[in-house]
Amino acid sequence: MPDDDRPQITLITPPRIDLITFPDALAAVLDRVAVACLRHAATGGDEDQIAREADALREVAHARDVAIVIDRHVVLAERLGLDGVHLLDGTRSIRAARKALGADAIVGAFCGVSRHDGMTAAEMGADYVGFGPVGDTALGTGAQAPRDLFEWWSEMIEVPVIAEGALTPTLIRDLAPVTDFFAFGPEVWGADDPAAALAALDHAIG
């Protein structure tokens, strides 16, 4: 029986993918570890390239009953039959994304380390709120989302919360009681064996 309280996994793609090799690598990962949602990072290339990538990713994900969202590109999410969009600008685009995609689409918001932005996003109808990075990384401002932010959120807010950014097994074990999802990207794709890397991270969740 699955543990309803056990955090689920969102898997983030690399910013650019090789359409020849990556779908098979993704399939191998998804076949080994249960993933709730695939997030196409989609930060590189033109719109046509991103659309081709999203098409290929959707086929792999939907064949395994895994939802797929795309970073920022609301129009592509609608056009390509994706399950929703992951917004990177906090609260600024939530209402427009919901209007464009409809009530059934997934609309998530990354809010950095800002409790205020997270609360506002939840009030505006985001399906989930992401905080991070939780680990030591040079990306962004360098500010880290502390455990007490997740602890407070899990006690006070019903909207699911996602922890991401430089996650380690130690951080995962510490945050597992106070988060709903972990989002893994470079932690997986930077390894020689991505499927084994995700399996190890999944094991740390408990």
> Amino acid letter at 119?
M
- Tokens representing residue 169 in the block: 């097994």
For residues 90-116, average pLDDT: 95
Residue 27 to residues 69, 118, 170, Cα–Cα distance (Å): 17, 32, 27
For residues 164-186, average pLDDT: 97
- Give the pLDDT confidence score for residue 129 in this predicted structure: 98
For residues 136-151, average pLDDT: 86
Percent of the chain with pLDDT over 70: 96
| Beta-bridge partners for 107 | 85
Please name the residues in contact with 126: beta carbons below 8 A apart, sequence gap of 6 or more: 87, 94, 107, 108, 109, 159
- Give the pLDDT confidence score for residue 166 in this predicted structure: 95
Q: Quote the pTM value.
A: 0.95
The domain defined by 8-205 folds into: TIM Barrel (3.20.20)
Q: Where are the alpha helices (DSSP H) in 35-183?
A: 47-62, 74-79, 94-101, 115-123, 147-156, 169-175
Residue 41 to residues 44, 45, 150, 155, 200, Cα–Cα distance (Å): 9, 11, 23, 30, 22
Residue 133 has pLDDT above 60, yes or no: yes
